[in-house]
Structure formats: structure tokens, C-alpha cells
Structure 1
Amino acid sequence: MTTIASTQVQDSPEILVQESNKIVVGNGGVASSITLPGTAVATNQLDVSDVPEDLFTGKGTPIASTVLDDASLTSYATESGTQTLISIESASAASEYRFPLSLPSEATAIVESDGSVSVHDQGGGLIGKYLSPWAVDAKGAKVGTTFSLQGNTLIQTVKFNATTAFPVIADPQWWQTALSITAGAATGTAVAAAIAGVSTGVGVIIGGCVTGALNSMWDGSDFWGGFRGCLLGAALGAVGRVATSVVKNSLKGFGIGV
């Protein structure tokens, strides 16, 4: 397998592009990949001006592109993995996009109730997930879309019709759990440095609460509810109230809004 390119956003997993359309994301010896459907082409910057800012999290220039009839796909590195934008040009384009996955040994993928697809190791630990899918038309209006699995193939179905404003943009976005661990540790250190009287040990506890709340957030739970509940359980409620602004600003450095 020939590696075409590699990239890494600061503090993110390493990303390799193989055979022009296979994107491998690795961190700490755990690697998974997604293969883009279609014919590989030279990467082009996709016009994302009609995509709401909170939906597009790609960083820098594209890392891989493919084309199909009346559709194209463009992948970007993100702080936590990758995001692939599907640009659907007309009602005659395919409504199903099939992405072969290569998962770590003995890992399993599951479609969750919120529409996301989580990947778990043999012991049930969360490796990462494809976040709940979205699709918007050229006017920024939501278009129905869902994930399904057929073996180790991720299928994104986009429910457009002849009256939809094209192009429609949709995405599968991979989030690797290592980001929450990195962000949690960094945030705990920042809190200990910023607040007088907070020890390194307390910072570690706060960092653990951040990590757990981030994991819950990507499962659809409220970050602050989980974070404060964790602090109360550790008898650190007052510290948590003081630390809120530090936590928020630290996570912004990772591109995480809470």
C-alpha cells in the first residue's frame, strides 16, 4: 500500500492518505481507515461558504478528493480526526455513499440512537465514532440523512429530491477518543496554573472530569452537566465554578466549543 501523503493538525491523531482515497487515522498504536468512493482526483478546495460554521471543522487544505457522477468528495484533517464533505450537484446524483472501513483488530461498529456510528474495542472501550450525520442544501436548510452499516461498510443516505436547492453538502466525520484525553489533561494543567491554591492533583481530577464530559458530549449529553456532576462527586464543586472560564478557553484551543 503506497502512502500518498501524511498530515497532522496540532494535538490531533496522525493522518495518512494511501492509494489516493484511503484515509488512515492513527493514535497510540490504534489505527482505523475510511476509503472514499469514486475516482481519486487532485485535491481541490471545496466551496463551503453555504455550510454553517458550526458544521465544518476541517483545518487547512484538503487531503484527498474523489468524484462520482454528479457528486464529489473532499476530505480534511480536523483536530480530532477527519471530515469528508460530500458535494451533491443535482437530483440525478446517487443518494447513497458507501465508505469501506478498516477497523482495529476485533473492533466492532454500532449505529447509535443519535444516528452516529461508534467503534468499540474487544473490551467495549470506545475507540472513536462517526459523529451524527448532517446534510444542508445550497440555502443552508437541513436535508435528511442517515448512517447505516453493511458489514464494515459505512453507508450515508441523503434524502434530497427534485425541489432541493443544490448543491447539497453532507459529511461523515471521524472523531478519535484520544483527543478528549489530550484536551482533558491540558485543561486540568491550565486550571491548576491559573487558580491560586489549586494543586496539581486537583488539576488531574478536573482534567479527568473534562475527559469524561467530552466523551459524554459526543454521545449527545450536556458537557457542563456531566462536568459539574463529576466535580460534585469529587467534592470540588466550588473549584469548578471558579474554573469554568479557564476550562472553556482551554477547550477553544482544541477547536471544541462547549
Structure 2
Amino acid sequence: MKRKLYLSIPILITLALIGTIINPKITHAKEEMNPASDIENITGINGILKSIKSNNTYKYGNTTKGYEVSNNPNKPIQLDVSTNISLPSGNIKKGVISPNGTVVYKNNDKENVIYAVQPTNDGLKSLIQINDQKAPKEYRFKMNLPRGSKLVTAAEYLGSEFDTGEVYVVNKENMITSIFSPAWAKDANNQDVPTYYKTDGNTLIQVIDFNSKTAFPIIADPDWSKIAACSAAIAWFIGSNLFAAAKIIKVKKYVKELGGIKETAKLLAGATSWEEKLKIGGEAFKGLAAEITGVGGLAVCINW
């Protein structure tokens, strides 16, 4: 009798495990979706500004130079006195702020698209979370710009041969005043999803080319930033007619290889050693450094 009982113990354990897999307890039900967490897992939380006021409007930075993000999704986000950006239209719920500063706007009609914003020291990230393949592939962000300013793609501004994937806000003198970094999108496995920008007047459109095999959710991000001193200097150099065409072409080539004007400026002016800059930028950085050394207007970029 003892032998029979002893032999049945492994069988009982196996049956119990099979039963758990086939018919799990109700407490193992699927977790409720947490879009703020999904988004912050991709973007990280370093650099997100903390709100200094949270009534109907979340304010970031100081009162004169900061951003204003309304919890009303139909109200434009104020980037500065004369520039704002609107989320794509839709039946969207009021924004709710996460403990880390991400403001999330869920959809009243369906949950296949969620929007969010993250104000940062550099600018504003306007985020899209796509939860299934029924979602749209195009997302329109309308901008209100100062008189005479407009959106211009890098292909238009630099020439298609030197397209960095960025989109620029340029003023009436055709000088860059702010930048959208190249479009990006990541799936649930942190793999790149094909994406790019196009423009329609002063509306920025991000196109995200997912398919039935894509791992959802996808996080995408039109990332707008104020133009910093070095970025402005590079833009001035490229946009001026003060230098030999061959020199400007070389600089455009290196800027493309380094990931665009914003990334080039970060590398040039960043607090890293010459060796670190070379390690990151390689021959493109070395070539660019040779071209800009001695140009007075680019002295702000030279940190080596």
C-alpha cells in the first residue's frame, strides 16, 4: 500500500501542474494596460521635466520659457510664445500625468491608439502608442508657427542627397529655429519599425509602416527641440553663401553621416574627450572637425 501511494505522488504533482496550465486561476488574468509604463520603458524617464503646476494645465520649466500642456487633448501644447503643436484629432480623453511626468491621453472610442507627451530640457516629445494593426498608419501634428515661418524637410533644405530624416522649422530668413529629430518607432521587442516624416503645409505627418507580423504595442515619437547654440551655428553655416560650395557640401555629407544637425551638435559641443568623439563619430567626425576648425561662426561648436 505504501508503495502505491509513493508511486502516485509524482503523478499527482504532474496532474496538478497540467491543471494549472490548462485552467489557471482567475488571479492570473491579463494585466490592465499601462500606457505610461509602456512608453517610459522605451523612452526612459531621464530628462522628463516635472510639472510645477497641475490644475487643468501642466506647466514645465519657468513661467516665461517653459511649456504648457493642457489636460484637454483638443487644446494645442504651447512650446513658446508664438509656437504650439496639436495632437492628432480624435475622441480623446483628458490627459493624466504619470509620476515621472508623462502626460497620457487615452482614446474614448477605442484603445488601439494612445497619445502622450513628455516635456524635456531640450524640447517636447509627442508620443504615439499603437496597440494593434487596425490603427492608422499616418499621424498628423498641426503646428502654429510665427509669421513667415514654415516646416521644411531635411531633403528640401539640405538636398535629397544629404537627407537626414529631420524636419526643420525655418523663419522668414530661411534659418532653422527648431528641429524635429529623425522619425523613429519601436515595437514591443524594441525592434525598429519603418517610419518617416512628410509635411503638409505646417502639419507634420509621421508615417509608421507596421504590418500583421509587427509585435505590438509600437511606440513612436515626433521629437521637437529648440535649436541650441551649436545647432544654430551649423544651420547658419549650411544656409549661408559665405563659404565655398565644396566646403558646404562636405559639411552636409558629414552631418548626414552623424545623424543630423541635432546629433552632430551634441557630439561636437558635448562634454566628452576628443578620443570619445572619435569613437562615436569616427571618420565623419574627424572630417567635419577639419572643415569647421577656424570658422569663427562655429567656434561655439568646438569643444576639444
TM range (shorter): 0.5 to 0.7
Cα drift, residue 109 of structure 1: 0.7
Match of 1:96 among 138, 141, 164: 138
Equivalents in 2 of 1:129, 1:64: separation in Å? 23
Q: Between Structure 1 and Structure 2, how many residues are aligned?
A: 191
Higher helix share: 2
Distance 1:211 1:101, change over 3 A: closer
Instruction: List runs of 5+ in structure 1 lacking aligned partners.
Output: 47-59, 182-208, 245-258
% identical equivalent positions: 24
Match of 1:7 among 40, 46, 59: 59
Equivalents in 1 of 2:290, 2:150: separation in Å? 31
Match of 1:129 among 175, 179, 183: 179
Q: Name the structure 2 match of 1:175.
A: 225
Q: Name the structure 2 match of 1:56.
A: none
The amino acid that maps onto 2:121 is E
Distance 1:42 1:211, change over 3 A: closer
SS in 1 for 2:101: strand
Q: Output the TM-score relative to the length of structure 2.
A: 0.54
Distance 1:83 1:13, change over 3 A: farther
Query: After the TM superposition, which of the residue ranges 108-117 and 87-96 deviates more from structure 2?
Result: 108-117
Distance 1:232 1:33, change over 3 A: same
CA deviation vs aligned residue, 1:53-74 (integer Å, no higher than 9, x gap): xxxxxxx412452436301011
Equivalents in 2 of 1:233, 1:108: separation in Å? 28
Match of 1:20 among 72, 75, 86: 72
Cα drift, residue 151 of structure 1: 2.1
**What's the C-alpha RMSD, in Å, of the aligned pairs?**
3.2
Kindly report which structure 2 residues correspond to 1:67-78, keeping only aligned pairs within 5 A, or say none.
67=107, 69=110, 70-78=112-120
Instruction: List runs of 5+ in structure 2 lacking aligned partners.
Output: 1-54, 155-162, 237-254, 269-284
Q: Check whether the contact 2:132–2:216 (CA below 8 A) recurs between aligned residues.
A: yes
Kindly report which structure 2 residues correspond to 1:220-231, keeping only aligned pairs within 5 A, or say none.
221=264, 223-224=267-268, 225=285, 226=288, 229-231=291-293
Distance 1:117 1:13, change over 3 A: farther
The amino acid that maps onto 1:24 is Q
Equivalents in 1 of 2:294, 2:56: separation in Å? 49
Match of 2:198 among 128, 148, 152: 148
Match of 1:34 among 79, 85, 93: 85
